[in-house]
Amino acid sequence: MSAHVAVWLLIPLCALVALIVGAVLITRQQRKSGPSVPGPAGQQVVKGFYQVAGETREDFVRRHRDRPGVIANGATLVDLYDRIRQLEERLAEVESERERRDQATP
């Protein structure tokens, strides 16, 4: 009867060991794989899914926009960044027009 108990205790132990070993192997594989992408000017080459020092969150999202399952809806984030940039440019144009108009009227 004690042999049956030992077998039943080994099953969860083996499952736990398999889970830990699998996690370690997946982590190692993720570190090894990943595209080598040139970083910003003056930075070393970036390999894998890491944000380099000096890289903005926007640049990081743009660099990984096509990587499946890593960036939640990366294309939408990039689209939002583009829209924000367009709005900022339009705001700067309107402000400069307003300043010119204020300077032109005495």
Supply angle C-alpha 14, 18, 20, rounded to 5.
Answer: 120
Please state the three-class secondary structure of 49-65 as a single string: CCCCCCCCHHHHHHHCC
Kindly state whether residues 46 and 6 are assigned to the same domain: no
Same structural domain, 57 and 6: no
41 & 11 share domain: no
| Per-10-residue mean pLDDT, the chain, length 106 | 78 92 86 58 59 79 68 66 89 93 82
**Are residues 7 and 41 located together in one domain of the fold?**
no
Task: Quote the pTM value.
Answer: 0.40
Domain extent, residue 99, equals 36-106
**What is the Cα–Cα distance from 96 to 106, expressed in whole angstroms?**
17
Rounded-to-integer distance, Cα 62 and Cα 85, Å: 14
Q: Count Cβ atoms below 10 Å from residue 19 Cβ, excluding itself.
A: 10
